[in-house]
Amino acid sequence: MRNTLVDPFEDIPRGVVVTANDYAAGSSFPVHAHRRGQFAFAACGTISVTTPEGRWLVPPQRACWVPAGVAHEMTMGGPVTMLNAFVSPDEAQAAQLPAACCVYGVSALLRQLLEEAIDLPAMYDVDGRAGKLMNLLVAEIASMSRLSLHAPLPVDPRLARACRRLFDAPSVATGLDMIAAEAGMSRRTFTRHFRVQTGVSFAEWRQQVCLLAAIERLSGGQPVTRVALDLGYASPSAFSSAFRRVLGETPTQYLETRRTA
């Protein structure tokens, strides 16, 4: 079912509805929520998802789960083809899908199921082949592995506001004293509250934010050297080392893996 409007399908008496949409680079959806859970698969392009709890990056051929009722923003990095499986709260609960946002790997089978489901009529036969296909689709979603492509946001508005500035201009050169001053806190107070509210140190969080930005820019075709220097790394080799330390691959290897996935 290919359509640019989602809401008209939220009241369809079916547990799962699948749609497909194409978006231009830079397209964005301001804060909104759905009555169904949204499994957003980036068939091509990169999607950034932001909620009050943090930011998630969805590289090509990966997907993000946004539970029903969760307010979120979406921004497209480059031209995006998005396949969405909208899952009713009852179906999501039965499949034990998570109550929080997360990024998933996507198997070849799940990709095929999503593609097949696009062409089903809105009022498909729940007792026939279509119903079985949708049941398998939800079961396959529930079995996918989760990926660490998330940077949490602190609850404290002062901390969150300062952190959002780093989302907008990520750099490993942004120091702790600078970000603490933006939050109107001492270094010690900022450090203590930040770790309690995010579960990680500021240095770890800053690196994760920069790596998410790097994946988004690399997926958009920017060269490794340019990305490394824009994000404040001393050299492309320093950037590659940090990338590999966290993700287990160099930037070049990571992109090649995703192209052939």
* The pLDDT value given to residue 58: 94
Beta bridge mates, 55: 50, 151
Report the chain's mean pLDDT, rounded to a whole number: 91
Q: Which fold has domain 7-147?
A: Jelly Rolls (2.60.120)
Determine the average pLDDT of the residues in 16-34. 93
State the amino acid at position 186 in one-letter form.
S
Query: Domain 153-260 class?
Result: mainly alpha
* The pLDDT value given to residue 6: 47
Question: Cα(103)–Cα(222) distance, rounded to whole angstroms?
Answer: 23
Question: Cα(132)–Cα(20) distance, rounded to whole angstroms?
Answer: 20
Question: Could you say which DSSP state residue 145 is in?
Answer: P
Where are the chain's structural domains? 7-147, 153-260
**Cα–Cα nearest to 92, from 39, 13, 42:** 39
* The pLDDT value given to residue 221: 86
* The pLDDT value given to residue 130: 97
User: Residue 7 — very low, low, confident or very high, per pLDDT cuts 50/70/90?
Assistant: low
Assess contact for 220 and 256: CB atoms under 8 A: no
* The pLDDT value given to residue 1: 44
State the amino acid at position 40 in one-letter form.
A
| pLDDT one-digit tens code per residue, 82-118 | 999 999 999 999 999 999 999 999 999 999 999 999 9
Assess contact for 20 and 118: CB atoms under 8 A: yes
